[in-house]
A = this chain, B = another copy of it.
C-alpha cells in the first residue's frame, strides 16, 4: 500500500500517518518527492483496508498494490489448473471444449433433439437453462426442477455431460445432484452466499463475469469459491455492459490472454450472450479460440423463431454444425506445429 500526501501536507500530518500505519501493525517508509511525499506501507500480508489512514488530514490518495485475491492468482500458483467436469478435462492447453445447447429447456422434445444434434456435430458438453433469471417477473422463468430432469435425461441419452445455472444457495444441492458443471450467471457473480455454498461442493463451477465486473472483482469472486475448498472453477467471459447498444453486450476478448497472465484457472467465452446477434456468434467464437480460450459456449436451438428466450442469438442446428466444422479446422491449425 502506498499513501500519497497532499502537495502542502506538513511534517506533523506525515508523522500522524506514519503512526496510524504503525498502529495497524505495519511499518511505514516515507518517500519524499520534489512535489509531495509518499509513504510506503510494509509488512502486510495481502490486501489491507485503508480506512484507518485514508481520511487522515493531508492524505491525498491511497494506492493498493496487493490484490483482493490470492488462491486464484498465478503469482501464488504458477501452474495452469485443469478442471474436470463429467469426464472432460478443461484448461491448461487441452483442446478447447465446446458447450452447446438452448438458452432454456422448453420441452423434452426440444432438449433431446438439440442434445443429439450438438453431440452429432461434435460438442463435448450440453448446456441448457432450467432456472432462468429474467429482467422482469412476467416472462418465462424456466421449467425449474422439471427442466433439470429433462436436461439429465437428454444428456444421458446423448452421452454428454451438462452444465446448467444455479440461482440460489438452497438449490445448489439439487442442481449438483444432476449437473456435471454448475453455472453462476452474470447477475449472480457477486451473490456471495451462493459462491460460498458452491465452494463447499465437489462439483466444478462455471463462473460468468458480471455485466460491470472488473477483472479484479471477477477473480475475487472466484476466490470465494476456492477459499471454501472447491478448486474447480472455470471462468467465463460473456460480454460487459458499455455505452454501445448495437450489440447486446461488448465482448471483452482481451481478458482471455490477460486472465491467462493473472490466473491459473481455465477461461472460456460465451459469444452468444456477448453479442446477442446470431450473425456475430461464429466470428467471435473463432476469434475466442485464437485469443487462447479453453472453450466456447454456444446457444443452439432447433427452432430459434419459437424459442422462449434469446432466440435472436441462437444458432440453428445447421448453423451450429457449420460452425463446428470451421472451429474444428481452426483448432487443428492452432494445435499444429508452430
Contacts and interface: CB of A to CB of B under 8 A. Distances in A.
Contacts of A245: 214, 245
Contact of A7 (B75, B134, B275): B75
A129 interface: no
Interface stretch (A81-89, A109-117, A173-181, A188-196): A188-196
Interface in A280-338: 280, 283-284, 286-292, 304-312, 314, 326, 329-330, 333, 338
A53 B211 CA distance: 26
Interface stretch (A63-71, A92-100, A119-127, A147-155): A63-71
A170 interface: yes
Interface in A31-47: 31-36, 38, 40, 42-47
A111 B264 CA distance: 39
23 contacts: A2-B2, A2-B38, A29-B31, A33-B40, A33-B43, A35-B66, A40-B40, A51-B305, A52-B306, A55-B305, A135-B217, A135-B220, A137-B224, A212-B243, A242-B242, A243-B243, A246-B255, A253-B284, A254-B274, A256-B283, A257-B279, A257-B283, A290-B290
Given A51-B306, A188-B190, 18 more contacts: A2-B63, A4-B65, A31-B31, A33-B43, A34-B42, A49-B311, A52-B307, A137-B196, A137-B227, A168-B193, A169-B170, A214-B246, A216-B246, A240-B242, A242-B243, A251-B254, A257-B280, A290-B290
